Amino acid sequence: QVVTEMISRDRNHPSVLMWSLANEPESGDPEAKGYFSALANFTRLLAAGRPITYVISATYDSDQ
């Protein structure tokens, strides 16, 4: 719901270059990969053509 509202509200704003889906979430959790993959795919359906990103917090030895 939050992503849908964000895109609906800001899709035509001239300063929006891409959609950011998260900022340093707990991405080391095994379920996180599936969650963020589904979230990214959903966002692509709503906002085709605009890049998406999210920032992760991981050390070099735990980065996947």
- Residue 18: CB partners within 8 Å, gap ≥ 6? 50, 51, 52, 53
Rg of the chain, C-alpha, whole Å: 13
Please answer whether residues 7 and 43 qualify as being in contact, where contact means their C-beta atoms are separated by less than 8 angstroms.
yes
- Residues with active-site annotation: 24
